Amino acid sequence: MRVPASIGQRLEEVDTPALLLDLDAFEKNLFTLQSSLKGSAVRVRPHAKTHKCPEIARRQIAAGAVGVCCQKVSEAEAMVEGGIGDVLVSNEVVGAQKIARLAELSRRAQIGVCVDNPENIAALRGSNAELDVYIELEVGMRRCGVAPGEPALTLAKEIAKSKKLRFAGLQAYHGRAQHVRSLAERRTAIQQAQHAVEETKRLFEKNRFPCPIVTGAGSGTYMLEVQSGAWDEIQPGSYVFMDADYAKNEWAAPLPRFAHALFVLSTVMSRPGPDRAIVDAGLKASSVDSGMPTVWQRPGLNYAQASDEHGKIEIAAGAAAPALGEKLLLVPGHCDPTVNLYDWYVCVRAGVVEALWPITARGALQ
Amino acid sequence: MRVPASIGQRLEEVDTPALLLDLDAFEKNLFTLQSSLKGSAVRVRPHAKTHKCPEIARRQIAAGAVGVCCQKVSEAEAMVEGGIGDVLVSNEVVGAQKIARLAELSRRAQIGVCVDNPENIAALRGSNAELDVYIELEVGMRRCGVAPGEPALTLAKEIAKSKKLRFAGLQAYHGRAQHVRSLAERRTAIQQAQHAVEETKRLFEKNRFPCPIVTGAGSGTYMLEVQSGAWDEIQPGSYVFMDADYAKNEWAAPLPRFAHALFVLSTVMSRPGPDRAIVDAGLKASSVDSGMPTVWQRPGLNYAQASDEHGKIEIAAGAAAPALGEKLLLVPGHCDPTVNLYDWYVCVRAGVVEALWPITARGALQ
C-alpha cells in the first residue's frame, strides 16, 4: 500500500489525486459540534462510516464522544482493532458468519447492534454474543426498521428472552431528512419521527420495558432531535468533513455551520480549449452519487462532468484559467463514499503535510 | 486484507457483499471477442482499467491480446508488477512525480503514453523515459486530445525532437459513443472519428511522418472501428464483465453479445414490508454513476434505490419475495468503478469458489 505523500511535504508537492484533510477545519468541526451541545445531556456517538479511520474516532472521543457507530461488522472490527472500546453497529446484522464475527467482537469491546426482525433476534440469541440491542424504528426513511408502537414492543419481548442480549433502547434515524434543503421541512420530518419515538416509549413504559437510550440523528438535523428532548444520543457523521451536497442545505440556527475539511487534490492534465480544463480526478476519485464535486475557491471554474478517471472543468468567460499541471482542490459531492476510495488521509495544516492517517475500514463491506 | 471467501466454498456460503466473477461467462467473453476478430489483422489491447487485475490481464494475453491499456501510472505499475510486459497508458501523464514513475517503469517493460500538449511532451523529453508516444486525437468525446490535422502534426514534430521518445501513432477513442443506445447512431459517431483519423494520417504521410498504429475503440463500438479499416488496435475493457448500463445498448451485428460475468452477491438484511426488501449492498458495494444495479434472474425484483450501505429492492405484486437472509445476485450498473471498491474477485464456477484473484490496482489513482 503505497503512501501517497510524505510528512513535511508542501501541499503543492503532493501528487494527485490525493484525499486531503485540512486539520484546522477538522478540529474546528469537532469543537463546533461539542459547543453546539453545551448545556445538553445528550451523548455524542459520531458515525465512523463517514471516516472509516480510528485516528479520527479517537479524536472524536477525546472531544467528548462516548464511542462511535458503524454500519458493518467489518467496520466495527477495524475500529476495535484501532483501540475504540465502544461501538454501535447502527444496522441489522444478518447471516451466520457476520453474527459469529459480531459475537467474537463482543468479547473484546462494548458492542451494540440494531434489530427489526424476530428471526434475526433469535439468531443473535443463539450466537452467545453479549450485545446491547437497539430496536430500529421506521421513522420516515422507508428503509429498515419496524413500525412504532406494538410491533416494536413485540421485538423487545423477543430480546428479553435472552440473558446475554441487553435491550438498550431505540434506534431512530431519519436519513432522508438530512439532505432536505429547507430547515423548516427538516423540522417537520423530525417532529414526525419524535412522535413515533414518544408513542413507542410510552407503550414500553406502560409495559414495564424501560427504554434506556434513544439514539439517532445526523449532521443535517441533530439539533432538532436534541431540542425535541426525545433523543438521548446523536450519531452525526458528515460534520467532521462536510461535502458539496450538505453545503446545499439551508444552515441556520439551531444548527451550527461546519467547515469544509475534506478535499480531493487534483491536477490539470489537459487544456484542450480555452473554455475547459481536464483534471485527473474522476468518479473513481470523488463519488458522484450526490452530485459533482465543486472547485474550491476558484470562481468561474465548474466541475461539470466526471468520467472514470477524468473530470471536465468548464471555465467561465473572464475566469482565471488554470494552467496545465496546476493543482485544484475539489470538495467532494458526497464525503462517505469518496473516503471509501482511498487508503490514506493526507493531513495538512497551513499548507504542509503534518500526518498520514490510514483509512483502515476502507472497503469494509461485510 | 481479509480474504472474502475460501476456495471450495459453495456460492451460498460466501459472505456478502462480495464481488463474484463467473469464470464460465468470463472465459466465454474472452473467446467471443477473439472470435469476432477472426480474419482481421487488428490487434487487441484490452483496457485493464476495467478489471485492475494482472490475473485477468494474463488471461487476455493468453487469448491473443498484445498487452493491455491503463489510465494511470500506478495502474501500469500494478500490471508490470503482475508480469505484464507491454502496457499503454492511454492517457496524458502530467506532473514531475508521475513522469518520473513512468520513466522508471519504462526501464522494466514496454510502456506507451498519450500526449495532447507540447509542454507535456517537453517534460517527457526531459525525463529520460523510453516511451512509445501516441498523440491523442479529439474524435468526438470532448475530453482530452488535440484537434485532428495540423495541431496533431505539430505535436508529432515535438516528439521527434527526442531520441528516447518514439512516435508510435494516434490514440483515437470515442468514449461518448460507447453507451449511445442505438447502433446506427454509434456507427455515425465512429464514422466521424474515422474521418478525423484518416485526415490526420494523410497529413502525416504527406509530411513523411509514418503513423505506425492507430489505437482506440471500446466494447460498445469496436467492430465498427475494425470494419472501418482505420484502426490497427482496439482497447475494449468492459467486454470481459458487461454491466447493466452496457446491457441497455442495442447489441446487433457486427457486435457480438457478451455475457454478464460480474456480480455483487448481497444478502437480504431486512424485510420491512411485503413490497420491499433491503439488501446489504449499497453504493459502496456497487457504483451507481450509470444507474442502479439489476437483480439477476429474479423477475419482479427491482433494485430501486441505493444509500451508502443499503439497497432498496421493490417487490412487484405476485413476484417471488426473497426471505430474510436470502442471497441475491446483482449486476452492477457500471463495472469499472464497482471493481474499484473491492480487493478480491471471488471466482466461481458451477456454484463453487474456484479461485480468489487480488485486484492489485484497486485504488490506483495516481
Q: What is the pLDDT of residues B179-205, one digit of tens each?
A: 999 999 999 999 999 999 999 999 999
How close A138 comes to chain B (CA, Å)? 9
Q: Where are the alpha helices (DSSP H) in chain A?
A: 23-36, 54-62, 73-81, 96-106, 118-125, 150-160, 183-206, 222-228, 244-247, 335-339
Q: CA-based Rg of chain B, rounded to a whole angstrom? A: 22
Mean pLDDT (whole number) for B98-109 = 97
Burial tier of A223 (Cβ tally within 10 Å: 0-12, 13-18, 19+): buried
pLDDT at A242: 96
Cβ separation A71–B309 shorter than 8 A: yes
Q: Is B315 on the interface with A (CB under 8 A)?
A: no
pLDDT in tens, B120-171: 999 999 998 999 999 999 999 899 999 999 999 999 999 999 999 999 999 9
Give the gap in angstroms from C-alpha A341 to the nearest C-alpha of chain B: 6
* Neighboring chain A residues of B17 at a CB cutoff of 8 Å: 365-366
| pLDDT reported for residue B285 | 98
Q: Does B269 touch chain A (CB under 8 A)?
A: yes
Give the closest of B143, B269, B280 to A310, CB-based.
B143
For B:45-84, CB contacts with A below 8 A are 49, 71-72, 74
With a CB cutoff of 8 Å and minimum separation 6, the contacts of B207 are B153
**Quick one: average pLDDT of A70-84?**
98
pLDDT of residue B214: 98
CB contact under 8 A, B365 and A146: no
Within 10 angstroms of residue B236's Cβ, the number of other Cβ atoms is: 26
Chain A CB contacts of B343 below 8 Å: 363
Cβ–Cβ under 8 Å, residues B297 and B330 = no
Q: Which among B354, B355, B358 has a CA at the least distance from the CA of B344? A: B358
The pLDDT score that the predictor gives to residue A1 is: 62
Count the helices and strands in chain A (H runs, E runs): 10, 17
Chain B contacts of A307, Cβ < 8 Å? 143, 175
CB B337 to CB A138 under 8 A? no
CB A135 within 8 A of CB A170: yes
H or E stretch at B165: strand B165-171
Find out whether the peptide bond into A332 is cis, omega within 30 degrees of 0.
Answer: no
Tell me how many residue pairs between chain A and chain B have CB atoms under 8 A apart: 159
Chain A CA closest to residue B365: A17
Q: What is the pLDDT of residues B23-36, one digit of tens each?
A: 999 999 999 999 99
CA closest to B264 among chain A residues: A365
CB-based contacts of A103, cutoff 8 Å, min separation 6: A127, A128, A129
Does residue A359 have a pLDDT over 80? yes
Over residues B104-113, the mean pLDDT reads: 98
C-beta atoms of B267 and A94 within 8 A: yes
Look at residue B240 and give its three-state secondary structure: helix
- Pull the grid cell for residue B279: 439488501
Average pLDDT over residues A99-108: 97
Residue A316 CB neighbours (<10 A): 11
Q: Which cell is A229 given? A: 428532548
In SS3 terms, B90-138 reads as EEECCCHHHHHHHHHHHCCCEEEEEECCHHHHHHHHCCCCCEEEEEEEC
Say if A124 is an interface residue toward chain B (CB within 8 Å). Answer: no
Separation in Å, CA of B273 to nearest CA in chain A = 9
CA proximity to B145, closest of B165, B167, B124, B174: B174
Q: Which residues 6+ apart lie within 8 Å of B194 measured at CB?
A: B225, B228, B230
Q: Do A74 and B2 touch (CB under 8 A)?
A: yes
Cα distance between residue B159 and residue A131, in whole Å: 66
pLDDT of residue B264 exceeding 90:
yes
Report B:188-227 residues touching A (Cβ under 8 A): none
Q: Is the separation of the CB atoms in A285 and B366 below 8 Å?
A: no
Cis previous bond, A254, omega within 30: yes
The per-residue pLDDT for A2 is: 81
Residue positions counted in chain A:
366
Burial A353-363 (b: 16+ CB within 10 A, else e): beebbbbbbbb
The C-alpha atoms of residue A325 and residue A159 are separated, in whole angstroms, by 60
User: In the prediction, which pLDDT does B1 show?
Assistant: 62
Which residues on B lie below 8 Å from A91 (Cβ)?
269, 309
Determine phi and psi for B268, rounding to 5 degrees. -70, 115
Say yes or no for a CB contact (<8 Å) between B15 and A309: no
The ipTM is 0.96
Count the neighbouring beta carbons within 10 Å of the beta carbon of residue B96: 13
The alpha-helical segments, DSSP class H, found in B268-340 are 335-339
- Three-state secondary-structure class, residue A273: strand
Exposed / middle / buried, residue B138 (Cβ in 10 Å: 0-12, 13-18, 19+)? buried
Min Cα–Cα distance to chain B from A269, Å: 5
pLDDT digits (tens, 9 = 90+) for A148-198: 999 999 999 999 999 999 999 999 999 999 999 999 999 999 999 999 999
- Identify any residues that bridge with A89 across adjacent strands, giving them in sequence order: A70, A113
For residue B324, list chain A residues with Cβ-Cβ distance below 8 A.
94, 117, 119-120
CB–CB of A365 and B284 under 8 A? yes
Picking from B150, B87, B152, the residue whose alpha carbon sits closest to that of residue B115 is B152
Whether A117 and B267 lie within 8 Å, measured CB to CB: no
